[in-house]
Each structure stands twice: as C-alpha cells, then as structure tokens.
Amino acid sequence: MSHDITEYLRQTVILGGSDLHLSSWAPACARINGSIAPFNQDPLDPATVRQLVFDTLTEAQRSTLEQELELDYALQVEGVGRFRGNVHMARGHMEAAFRFISQDIPLLETLGHHSAVHEFCNKRAGLVLVTGVTGSGKSTTLASMVRRISETRNGVIITLEDPIEFVHEHRSSLIKQREIGTDTKSFPKALRQSLRQDPDVIVISELRDLETIRIALTAAETGHLVLATLHTPDAPQTIDRIVDVFPADQQPQIITQLSSALEGIISQRLIARADGQGRVLASEVLCPSHAMRNCIRERKLEQIVGLMEIGYREGNRTIDESVGRLLNEGFITRDEALFHCRERKSFEILQEAKEPKKQKSIWT
C-alpha cells in the first residue's frame, strides 16, 4: 500500500475497522474488532507520518498543532466517510489516531441497551450521563439518544461538541450543533450561552472541567434535559468523579445538586463476541431511586450497587448482570466475562456459556 492517507482511511473502513493509528517507526495499524492489526510490515518514518497528517489539515489547524503540540479535529474524506482525528507528539515525533464515524446514526433499539435507556430520552429535565472508557461506544449511544429525542419531541436541541462527530438532521426537533474551537471558544462559554438560546435539550460531548460540570448541573436543575459523557467505568465511580473535581469546600453543594438533578447513568463497554463477529454491548444502568439519592447525598456510594441489584424493576442493571446475561446467552466467552465483571465471585453461579449467537452486531 502506498503512503496515502486517503487510502489508509479507506482500507480501515473496508476492513470494518474503528480506528487508524499512525506512529513513527511502526507500520500503519487499524483497530478491528477491538484488536490492533498492521496493514503491512513496513514501518513509517517520522517524515512520512508528518506528511500524512499534514495532508488532512488546514493551514489554521497546522498552526494550532505547531503551537499546542496536539490537536482534535473532524475530517471529512470524500468517498470514504467522516473521522475524528487526534494528532499528538510522542518522543519528539508526530503521531495520530483517526476514529471512523459512521454517518448512519443507528436507532437506539438496535444497540442492545436496556429499555430504561429509552425512557431517559423521555425525561423533560435532569442530567443523564453516558460513560465508559475510550472506544466503548459512548458517542454512538449519545447520537442515537439525540436521534430518538429529535424524532419524538418538538423542541430545540443544542449540542456542544469537540469536534462534531455525527451530523444530525432536523426531524421533529430543531438541532443546533456547535463545535468547540470553530463555533465557540470553550465548553463553559458555549454552555452559558446555550441557556439563552431557548433549549429544551443540551448535549455535551464530554464533561471535561469543573466549570462545565457546574453549569451543566445548574441547567439540569432549571428545567433542561442535559445529556453528556464521562470517561468513567461504572455508575459509582461516575458520581465520585463529578464530586471529586470540586474543591472540598464546594463538594457539599455539588453533592446536593447531583443527588437532585441526576436522572440516569449508562456505563457501557464493548466486549469481543465469542464467534469473532465484532463486539457486543454490556452496560450498567442506574435509575436513581429515593434511597439512591440519599446515598449520593450522604456519600455512601458503596451502597449504590446493592440498591441497583434490588432495583431491577425500576430499570437498574449492574455491569455484572449485563455481562452475566451475555455469557449465559452465548454471546461472549467465560474469560471475557470474568475480565469485564465487577465481582468475579458473582460469576461462580453462572451457567456455562452456550453456543455463540450468530446474529450480526452493529458494533465493530
């Protein structure tokens, strides 16, 4: 394969890959079904990586990269698709990762989420968080939720993204997509301004800093539905992360706000299928009950999981329950289940895995 960035991106998509990686002194690689695979055995030298990256950038983006030494941006490649790019330095050399973004926003029903997630889309106010590690499908879930809301509600949806990934159509709702760095200077500034733009729903691609979290909580408390993502693995750690961002003297107020405004947490991960046909979704869902809100208020987060286990009828599901179901239905192997569960002991009573299911997964 010639050193052409368009061809590398095209082959990544053709092979069903989710990401393209360019690193100095290593072959170009794609992530396919969760694993890294090189295109060939020919390592890229630093000059080649730099040229491949610069072929995707505008002059303004090149200038920003040279000043900041890293850059997040969106890339549209004609005839191939849309990508989220990240350029950074490593050992003094330029490297990059490109995430393929399918522009076919899937229906929420096709992702494998619990029905409670659908109900989150019907909320009129409050904070709903989609969490997980990098590459766990958070952006896809968030986009599917926005699509569902836009199809079922007549209102105004404002998204604040860095960068814009999925491009939404106006359906029953009017959707205003704003990109940080292009349409506005920062998340906090954009979020403050959005409150003056008559929003029904505010979507934040990531809660990155104290001020963004503070304004998001206020917006959720004052009659807006706020959807956002966080890089946390489960529901209890999500609550901890939000509170711990703030200085100790501010935490009591934030805890009070969070216990009142929180309407749901979806913590997800993608697990390799036993049949090798892509990955399958496992998710933890928290639907706050009165008892859970008290636990948040009193910072007794160790009790949250127990309340989720007995709150299944209200829509709660722990990650162990989700992973256990996938194992018992034959979607994943026992080794994968043990790796992704919270408590290994809880799997001692699980049945042996059945024959892997054959239906197609949308997750790659």
pLDDT (mean) for 336-349: 79
pLDDT (mean) for 338-360: 64
Domain ranges of the chain: 5-101, 108-347
Residues 59-70 pLDDT 10s? 999 999 999 999
User: Quick one: pLDDT band at residue 352, thresholds 50, 70, 90?
Assistant: very low
Contact 20, 86 (CB under 8 A): no
Contact 20, 8 (CB under 8 A): yes
Residue 359 has pLDDT above 80, yes or no: no
User: Quick one: pLDDT band at residue 346, thresholds 50, 70, 90?
Assistant: low
The neighbour count for residue 241, using CB atoms within 10 Å, is 17
Residue 358 has a pLDDT of: 55
3-state helix, strand, coil split of the chain in percent (to 5) is 40, 25, 35
Residue 189's alpha-carbon distances to 128, 245, 331, in angstroms, are 21, 19, 44
**Tokens matching residue 6:** 């368009």
The DSSP code for 101 is E
**Which stretch of DSSP H or E encloses residue 282?**
strand 279-286
pLDDT (mean) for 274-295: 96
Please state, in angstroms and rounded to a whole number, the distance separating the CA atoms of residues 302 and 295. Answer: 9
Residues 165-187 pLDDT 10s? 999 999 999 999 999 989 999 99
Residue 145 has pLDDT above 70, yes or no: yes
Residue 87's alpha-carbon distances to 61, 93, 205, in angstroms, are 10, 11, 19
Residue 166 has a pLDDT of: 94
**Any idea which residue has 């636990």 for tokens?**
295
Please state, in angstroms and rounded to a whole number, the distance separating the CA atoms of residues 9 and 140. Answer: 20
Residue 356 has pLDDT above 60, yes or no: no
% of residues, the chain, pLDDT over 70: 95
pLDDT (mean) for 267-279: 95
Residue 362 has a pLDDT of: 75
Residues 186-227 pLDDT 10s? 999 999 999 999 999 999 999 999 999 999 999 999 999 999
Residue 102 has a pLDDT of: 86
CATH class entry, domain 5-101 = alpha beta
User: Quick one: pLDDT band at residue 344, thresholds 50, 70, 90?
Assistant: confident
Task: Spell 74-101 as b/e; 16+ CB within 10 A means b.
Answer: bbebeebbbbbbebeeeeeebbbbbbbb
Please state, rounded to an integer, the average pLDDT across all residues of the chain. Answer: 94
pLDDT (mean) for 292-299: 97
**What pTM value is reported for the model?**
0.87
Residues 106-137 pLDDT 10s? 999 999 999 999 999 999 999 999 999 999 99
pLDDT (mean) for 301-306: 95
Residue 355 has pLDDT above 60, yes or no: no
User: Quick one: pLDDT band at residue 343, thresholds 50, 70, 90?
Assistant: confident
CATH class entry, domain 108-347 = alpha beta
